[in-house]
C-alpha cells in the first residue's frame, strides 16, 4: 500500500490548528493526524509543507465554470476542463451547477457529468454530484441567467433529471407553483434541498422548510428582503428569506466571498450569525476564471447570456454582478483578510461544512483518519502549493 506523509506544516482541523503536524496517508486514505515526533514510515513519499498549512481539500457546491468552459456547454470535454481548473485552486470535490436553459441542455449537462464521474484516474476535482440550480427560478429574481430559460417546476421535467442519479443538490424558488412537490421529490433523492433566485416570503419559506428545504443559495444575492416582499405582496411587511435563514438554526447558506459581491461587514455578519457549521463558502465561478478580461457567455456557450469580465468579477449588461471569476483559494484568503473568523473556521466553511450538508462527510471534508486523502499544502499566505485528491497529486 503506497504511503504518503505530509510534514513540516500546521494542520488545519475543524476545531483548531495542530502545529508541526504529520498527516499520514496510505492507500488513498488518511491514516493518522498528529504531532511530529513519531517516525515517518520509511517507504513513505514525503511532502514537505515548508512551514505552511496542511489543509483538507476544498469542496464547492455552487460553481458554473472556469478556464473558458461552462458545465452547461454540455460536453464531457467542458466538464473535464472546469474540473481541472478548479483543482488548481484547491477544490478536490466539486458539484457542477446548472443554469437556466432548455431541458435538452440541462440533460446534456447531467449526462456529460455522469460520464466524467465514471472515468477512472482522471486528474481534476472529483465530481460528487450535480447541483440542479437553474431553471426553477422566480421571474423577478432571475439575475444574470437567461430569462427565457427559467420556468416553474413540473414533475415530468425534474423526474427526468433526478432519474440520472447524479443530482445531489437541488434548488427551486419557494414561491413557484409546484415548489413543495419539487422539494419533497428532491428530499426523497437525498439531495441538499435549497431555495434560490427567489422573492419568497417568510410564510413560503416555512412551507418549504416543512417540505425539506434546508439551504439558501448565495446569501443576499438574488434573494428576497423585507422590502422586495412588500413590493410583491404589500403590507403588513413580512419576513423574507434573510430573516428565515437567520432565525432558523437548521438552515444553512453560502457567501460569495470574492471581495466584489459582499462587503467585509456582510461576510463577518454571515459568519457570526450562522456560524461555521451553517455557512459555506462557494465560488459561484463562471467560465472567465483563469481567463483574460473580456466578453463571455454565462451558461451554455451556444445561447447563454453575455457578461463582461473585468479580471475581478463578472458584470451583466444592466450593470449588476454576473457571478464570480475566482477560485476557492481566493475566497478563503478573502475571508481571512476581511473578517475575524479564525483559519479553522474559514477552512471548515470550504470543506467540512459543505461535506456535511451534502452528506459526504464520512468520505471527505476534513483531515481525519479513514477519510480520503484529499489534502492541500498552502503557504503562509494561503496560496495553493500542492493538491492531492485521494492521495494522488493533481
Residue closer to Zn ion (CB basis): 106 or 394: 106
H/E stretch holding 266: helix 264-274
Q: How near is the Cβ of 225 to Zn ion at its closest, in Å?
A: 16
Q: How near is the Cβ of 304 to Zn ion at its closest, in Å?
A: 12
The owner of cell 427567489 is: 198
Q: How near is the Cβ of 104 to Zn ion at its closest, in Å?
A: 21
Three-state secondary-structure class, residue 236: coil
Residue closer to Zn ion (CB basis): 201 or 324: 324
- Spatial separation of the C-alpha atoms in residues 367 and 32, rounded to whole Å: 9
CB 10 within 8 A of CB 19: yes
Q: How near is the Cβ of 217 to Zn ion at its closest, in Å?
A: 6
Residue closer to Zn ion (CB basis): 196 or 391: 196
Residue closer to Zn ion (CB basis): 246 or 316: 316
Residue closer to Zn ion (CB basis): 72 or 360: 72
Output the nine-digit C-alpha cell for 148.
Answer: 427565457
Q: What angle do CA 181, 359, 77 make, to 5 degrees?
A: 85
135: preceding bond cis by omega (within 30 degrees): yes
Residue closer to Zn ion (CB basis): 64 or 348: 64
Output the nine-digit C-alpha cell for 95.
Answer: 458539484
Burial class (CB in 10 A: 0-12, 13-18, 19+), 109: buried
Q: How near is the Cβ of 128 to Zn ion at its closest, in Å?
A: 17
CA proximity to 180, closest of 152, 216, 199:
152
- Spatial separation of the C-alpha atoms in residues 255 and 318, rounded to whole Å: 22
Q: How near is the Cβ of 72 to Zn ion at its closest, in Å?
A: 11
Q: How near is the Cβ of 307 to Zn ion at its closest, in Å?
A: 12
CB closest to Zn ion, residue no: 284
Q: How near is the Cβ of 64 to Zn ion at its closest, in Å?
A: 6
Residue closer to Zn ion (CB basis): 284 or 356: 284
The site for Zn ion (CB under 5 A) is made up of: 284
Buried b or exposed e, range 255-270, using 16+ CB within 10 angstroms? bbbbbbbbeeebbbbb
Residue closer to Zn ion (CB basis): 142 or 361: 142
> Which own/partner pairs from 303-309 qualify as long-range (CB within 8 Å, at least 24 positions apart)?
303/146, 304/70, 304/72, 304/99, 304/101, 304/146, 305/144, 305/145, 305/146, 307/144
Q: How near is the Cβ of 393 to Zn ion at its closest, in Å?
A: 30
- Spatial separation of the C-alpha atoms in residues 38 and 308, rounded to whole Å: 53
Task: Kindly list the distances between the CA atom of residue 125 and the CA atoms of 75, 341, 346, 352, in Å, as whole numbers in the listed order.
Answer: 16, 26, 20, 16
Output the nine-digit C-alpha cell for 158.
Answer: 425534474
Residue closer to Zn ion (CB basis): 60 or 284: 284
Amino acid at each position: 500500500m503506497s504511503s504518503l506523509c505530509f510534514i513540516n506544516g500546521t494542520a488545519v482541523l475543524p476545531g483548531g490548528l495542530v502545529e508541526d503536524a504529520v498527516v499520514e496517508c496510505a492507500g488513498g486514505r488518511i491514516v493518522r493526524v498528529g504531532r511530529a515526533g513519531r517516525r515517518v514510515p520509511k517507504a513513505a513519499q514525503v511532502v514537505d509543507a515548508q512551514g505552511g498549512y496542511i489543509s483538507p481539500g476544498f469542496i464547492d457546491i455552487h460553481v458554473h465554470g472556469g478556464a473558458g468552459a461552462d458545465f452547461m456547454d454540455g460536453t464531457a470535454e467542458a466538464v473535464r476542463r472546469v474540473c481541472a481548473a478548479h483543482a488548481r485552486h484547491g477544490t478536490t470535490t466539486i458539484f457542477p451547477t446548472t443554469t437556466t436553459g432548455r431541458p435538452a441542455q440541462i440533460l446534456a449537462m447531467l449526462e456529460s457529468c455522469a460520464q466524467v464521474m465514471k472515468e477512472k484516474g482522471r486528474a481534476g476535482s472529483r465530481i460528487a454530484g450535480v447541483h440542479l440550480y437553474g431553471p426553477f427560478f422566480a421571474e423577478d429574481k432571475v439575475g444574470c441567467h437567461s430569462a427565457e430559460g427559467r420556468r416553474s417546476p413540473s414533475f415530468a421535467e425534474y423526474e427526468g433529471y433526478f432519474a440520472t442519479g447524479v443530482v445531489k443538490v437541488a434548488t427551486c424558488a419557494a414561491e413557484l407553483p409546484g415548489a413543495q412537490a419539487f422539494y419533497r421529490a428532491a428530499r426523497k433523492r437525498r439531495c441538499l434541498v435549497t431555495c434560490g433566485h427567489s422573492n419568497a416570503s417568510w410564510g413560503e419559506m416555512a412551507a418549504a422548510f416543512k417540505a425539506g428545504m434546508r439551504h439558501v443559495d448565495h446569501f443576499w444575492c438574488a434573494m428576497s428582503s423585507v422590502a422586495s416582499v412588500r413590493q410583491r405582496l404589500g403590507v403588513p411587511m413580512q419576513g423574507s428569506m434573510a430573516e428565515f435563514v437567520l432565525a432558523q438554526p437548521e438552515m444553512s447558506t453560502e457567501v460569495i466571498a470574492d471581495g466584489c459581491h459582499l462587503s467585509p461587514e456582510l461576510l463577518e455578519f454571515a459568519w457570526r450569525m450562522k456560524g461555521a457549521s451553517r455557512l459555506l463558502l462557494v465560488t459561484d465561478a463562471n467560465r472567465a476564471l483563469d481567463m483574460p478580461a473580456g466578453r463571455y457567455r454565462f451558461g451554455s456557450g451556444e445561447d447563454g447570456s453575455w457578461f463582461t469580465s473585468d479580471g475581478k468579477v463578472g458584470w451583466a449588461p444592466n450593470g449588476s454582478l454576473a457571478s464570480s471569476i475566482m477560485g476557492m483559494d481566493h475566497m478563503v484568503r478573502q475571508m481571512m483578510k476581511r473578517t475575524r473568523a479564525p483559519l479553522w473556521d474559514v477552512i471548515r466553511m470550504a470543506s467540512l461544512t459543505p461535506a456535511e450538508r451534502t452528506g459526504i462527510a464520512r468520505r471527505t471534508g476534513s483531515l481525519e483518519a479513514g477519510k480520503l486523502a484529499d489534502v492541500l499544502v498552502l503557504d503562509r499566505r494561503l496560496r495553493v502549493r500542492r493538491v492531492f485528491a485521494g492521495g494522488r497529486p493533481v
